[in-house]
Amino acid sequence: MTDRIGYYEEKWETESPDAREARQVAWLRETVQYAYAHCESVKEKMDEAGVGPDAIRAIQDLEKIPITPKRDLVRLNKEKGPFGGFLGVDMSDLKRVYISPGPIYDPHGREDDAFSLQPLFYNAGFRKGDRVINTFSYHLTPAGIFCDEAINALGCVLIPTGVGNTEVQLKTMLDLKANGYIGVPSFLMSLIKKAEEAGYDFNRDFSMEVAFVAGEILPDSMRKTLEETYHIIVRQGLITADIGGISYECPERNGMHYSEHRIVEIVDPQTGKQVGPGEIGEIVVTPLRHKTYPIIRFGTGDLSYYEDDPCPCGRTSRRMMRIVGRVDQVTKVRGMFIHPSQVQEVAKAFEQISRVRVRVDREGESDLMWFDIELSEGASGTDVLKSQIEEKIREVLKLRGDVVFVAKGTIPEDAKTIEDVRKWE
Ligand SMILES: [Zn+2]
């Protein structure tokens, strides 16, 4: 059996938090100096905030620099031309240019492992000699090609199957005894289902051992099926088109360790300030020692929270827990962010709940929150059920909310999960 456990960069992955901060701050200072000197948009946003590169002496100092959210990249690409003023090298030095909707032009430079994906794939369990199908797109956007390069650099045999073509994918997997998969989790599942529909016994006839999945939420139930029924090692990672690898799962699968090559912050989306462990905020990323595209504080728009208790795998980095949702869907109630996915989590815990909508209003200086609940056929809105749901609301949202049982059909079909009717005058 191939050993699929083990560190890619043991020294860094296991160093003490203080040593890590010292190393990353040294890299950060170098990066900020470079970006300030070479990228018009970095200089502009720092000048506007009145921050010079010398002011960045700790990770916390990053709070002084405004975040660049993805939507700003769209605007800046329009205003300043391709790369939006963040290209740190001459365009003639690039290897490739990718195009994301917007359009946003993303540069691929010539530095080694430019998107910092090799550590993610190694730590996910890919090893030299693995035969890997890469089902991400090879056109326009970077996912196909940048995963291809990184997997190749680890010594794996890469089969660029790209998106779709289920039948060709299955034949390829069989003929070449592919044992690795890269792509979205739902596509792996549908390949397995298609194989079974065609009469194959997936465990007996196919060789799949390890999968790296990204790009969509991996439901716990799907993970369980892939791991327990089909015996595939499934690891997730967070990757973006603009800066590549951000975090990855280790064999413990308890959240995604931060990449050693990025500074990852979880911040309050309204203030840009870093939040503590367990608190929900936006994932903001700064690539380190990256000359091609040194966006300082890139706002991914994804919401998560981190834990920093020791991981049994021996890695000492913080772990980003599940992705809770997108920044543009959050509502702040009594100083806490709430997200539609948390509301659904409450609803899913009770089979008596058929539909739910949250209303947020304001009375005087205080926020009020109600959970309107339509019950399933046969269920009755008892006081016991009401208090059980309110208890669950406190547990999941860390906030008190009142449950109101409403008649079937009260919640409009197109209702938002969280209806914020507060007026701010
Ligand atoms: Zn770990």
- CA 257 to ligand 1 center in whole angstroms: 7
- CA 314 to ligand 1 center in whole angstroms: 6
Q: How many CB atoms lie within 10 A of CB 314?
A: 12
Share of the chain above pLDDT 90, in %: 83
What pLDDT digit, counting tens, does each position of 388-406 carry?
A: 999 999 998 888 999 999 9
Contact between 356 and 397 (Cβ < 8 Å): no
pLDDT band at 78 (very low <50, low <70, confident <90, very high): very high
Is the Cα dihedral 179, 183, 188, 190 positive or negative?
negative
**More confident call, 231 vs 74:** 231
- CA 320 to ligand 1 center in whole angstroms: 11
Parallel, antiparallel or unpaired: strands 131-134 and 157-159? parallel
- CA 211 to ligand 1 center in whole angstroms: 17
Share of the chain above pLDDT 70, in %: 99
Q: What is the spatial distance between Cα 272 and Cα 282, in angstroms, rounded to a whole number?
A: 9
Tell me which of 152-161, 352-361, 364-373 is least confident: 364-373
Beta carbons within 8 Å of 234's beta carbon, 6+ residues apart: 185, 211, 213, 218, 223, 226, 227
Residues with CB under 5 A from ligand 1 (ion): 250, 252, 311, 313, 315
Parallel, antiparallel or unpaired: strands 180-183 and 131-134? parallel
Calculate mean pLDDT across residues 353-366: 90
- CA 234 to ligand 1 center in whole angstroms: 14
**More confident call, 377 vs 424:** 377
Q: What is the spatial distance between Cα 220 and Cα 276, in angstroms, rounded to a whole number?
A: 26
Q: What is the spatial distance between Cα 148 and Cα 117, in angstroms, rounded to a whole number?
A: 10
Q: What domains sit in the chain, N to C, each tagged with a CATH number?
A: 331-420 (3.30.300.30)
Q: Left if phi > 0, otherwise alpha if psi is -120 to 50, otherwise beta: which for 362?
A: beta
CA distances from residue 218 to 181, 232, 256, 384 in whole angstroms, order as listed: 15, 14, 13, 33
User: What is the phi/psi pair of residue 2, to 5°?
Assistant: -70, 135
Calculate mean pLDDT across residues 353-368: 90
CA distances from residue 2 to 134, 235, 322 in whole angstroms, order as listed: 20, 16, 28
Calculate mean pLDDT across residues 91-110: 94
- CA 255 to ligand 1 center in whole angstroms: 8
What pLDDT digit, counting tens, does each position of 250-263 carry?
A: 999 999 999 999 99
Specify the pLDDT at position 362. Answer: 86
Specify the pLDDT at position 340. Answer: 87
Q: What is the spatial distance between Cα 284 and Cα 297, in angstroms, rounded to a whole number?
A: 6
- Read off the pTM: 0.83
- CA 184 to ligand 1 center in whole angstroms: 22
Q: SS3 for 33?
A: helix
pLDDT band at 423 (very low <50, low <70, confident <90, very high): confident
What pLDDT digit, counting tens, does each position of 276-334 carry?
A: 999 999 999 999 999 999 999 999 999 999 999 999 999 999 999 988 888 877 788 88
- CA 406 to ligand 1 center in whole angstroms: 45
- CA 311 to ligand 1 center in whole angstroms: 5
**More confident call, 118 vs 415:** 118
- CA 310 to ligand 1 center in whole angstroms: 8
Q: Which tokens go with 256?
A: 């995604």
Q: Where are the alpha helices (DSSP H) in 89-205?
A: 118-124, 143-153, 166-175, 185-197, 202-205
What pLDDT digit, counting tens, does each position of 220-242 carry?
A: 899 999 999 999 999 999 999 99
pLDDT band at 424 (very low <50, low <70, confident <90, very high): low
- CA 239 to ligand 1 center in whole angstroms: 18
Q: SS3 for 343?
A: helix
- CA 162 to ligand 1 center in whole angstroms: 30
CA distances from residue 346 to 263, 269, 326, 370, 391 in whole angstroms, order as listed: 33, 24, 18, 13, 10
Calculate mean pLDDT across residues 12-31: 97
- CA 254 to ligand 1 center in whole angstroms: 7
- CA 14 to ligand 1 center in whole angstroms: 10
Specify the pLDDT at position 422. Answer: 83
Structure-token match 């000197």, residue found: 37
- CA 247 to ligand 1 center in whole angstroms: 11
Q: What is the mean pLDDT of the chain?
A: 94
Residue in 61, 212, 52, 191 with CA at minimum distance from that of residue 134: 212
pLDDT above 90: residue 415: no
- CA 422 to ligand 1 center in whole angstroms: 42
- CA 312 to ligand 1 center in whole angstroms: 6
Calculate mean pLDDT across residues 259-277: 95
- CA 336 to ligand 1 center in whole angstroms: 28
pLDDT above 60: residue 130: yes
pLDDT band at 153 (very low <50, low <70, confident <90, very high): very high
Q: Where are the alpha helices (DSSP H) in 260-357?
A: 340-348
Q: What is the spatial distance between Cα 411 and Cα 415, in angstroms, rounded to a whole number?
A: 7
- CA 303 to ligand 1 center in whole angstroms: 21
Q: Which tokens go with 252?
A: 């413990």
**More confident call, 76 vs 269:** 76
- CA 117 to ligand 1 center in whole angstroms: 17
- CA 89 to ligand 1 center in whole angstroms: 35
Residue in 43, 69, 61 with CA at minimum distance from that of residue 269: 69
* Burial (Cβ within 10 Å: 0-12, 13-18, ≥19) of residue 3: exposed
Q: Which tokens go with 44?
A: 């502009």
Q: What is the spatial distance between Cα 393 and Cα 387, in angstroms, rounded to a whole number?
A: 10
H/E run at residue 402: strand 402-406
- CA 235 to ligand 1 center in whole angstroms: 12
